[in-house]
Amino acid sequence: MNLETGHTLTVAGQTLTLEDAMGVFERYPRKTPAAFDYLGSGEPEELTAQEVIRTRKISSRISNKEVAYFMEMSATAPWIRTTADLADATPEGTLFAAMTDLYWHFAEKSPKGVSFAKISKVLHLKQPSLFPILDSHIARSYAPAARLLRTGYPQLGWRRRTWLAIRNDLLAARESDTLSELRHRLRSYESDDANKQNAVRLLDGLTDLRLLDILVW
């Protein structure tokens, strides 16, 4: 495995060395993945109130009334029945169409205050390898890349073009083996602070998509 210091990856137009990336992971709040990610995704066709509430750990600010909205809509949602990966969601394929249907099920008649950020955080929890966390910061960061995709995909709005821009970064990071190398560094991370060492090593348990999400920040 090549662990040269000059190896890089790109997220949202920003080029990071592996050292840069490890610095981001070292600084990432330890409590966030423990309270949001590591508790699992539950059944892919079932959404619980506690799962919706968990998104508050990544600043969704979902109110109790909004939790009730998600629970009401979840009963008839076109859930994706198996775990899926964004890399397999080609824009012309059935998985991308299923993502679109599931997102719009919650978005089309959503009450004021439930926008793309809250919906994407809930859907990411259920499908952490498939749905990007698309909040305002991620949307701004990927806006230039999403605009570049407008010519090739004029039928898609900015949200779905942002999915594709994130997918492009995911594919590139995998094809270059950069993610594999980064995971090796996470697993073998050492620190004099045992709690910090354990927290960083545990990040290897996150999905590729979630690791890239953290790096945008």
pLDDT higher than threshold 50 for residue 85: yes
Residue 217's pLDDT is 82
Q: Which two tokens stand for residue 204?
A: 């290897």
Q: Average pLDDT for residues 183-207, to the nearest whole number?
A: 97
When the pLDDT of each residue in the chain is averaged and rounded to a whole number, the result is: 95
User: Would you state the pLDDT for residue 3?
Assistant: 39
d(CA 171, CA 2): 18
Q: Where are the beta strands (DSSP E) in the chain?
A: 8-11, 14-17
pLDDT at 6: 56
Q: How confident is the model over 92-117, as pLDDT tens digits? A: 999 999 999 999 999 999 999 999 99
210 pLDDT above the threshold of 70: yes
Q: Are 134 and 159 in contact (CB under 8 A)?
A: yes
* CA gyration radius, the chain: 17
The share of the chain scoring above pLDDT 70, in percent, equals 97
Task: Select from 99, 87, 115, 75 the least CA-distant residue to 179.
Answer: 87
User: Is the pLDDT at 44 greater than 60, yes or no?
Assistant: yes
Q: Is the pLDDT of residue 2 over 50?
A: no
Report, as an integer, the average pLDDT of 5-25: 91
Share of the chain above pLDDT 90, in %: 95
pLDDT attached to residue 4: 45
- Looking at residues 6-14, what average pLDDT do you find? 89
Q: What is the dihedral of CA 22, 53, 39, 74, to 10 degrees?
A: -110
Sorted by sequence, the CB contacts under 8 Å of residue 144 that are 6+ apart come out as 13
Contact assessment for residue 106 and residue 70, using Cβ atoms and an 8 Å cutoff: yes
Q: Which of 6-10, 38-42, 152-156, 197-201 has the lowest mean pLDDT?
A: 6-10
- Reply yes or no on whether the pLDDT at 179 is more than 90: yes
Give CA–CA dist 144/73, Å, rounded.
Answer: 33
Q: What is the pLDDT of residue 41?
A: 96
Q: Please report where in the chains the tokens 């059935």 appear, as a residue.
A: 94
Predicted confidence (pLDDT) at residue 72 exceeds the cutoff of 50: yes
* Residue 165 CB contacts under 8 Å (≥ 6 apart), including other chains: 12, 142, 145, 146, 148, 149
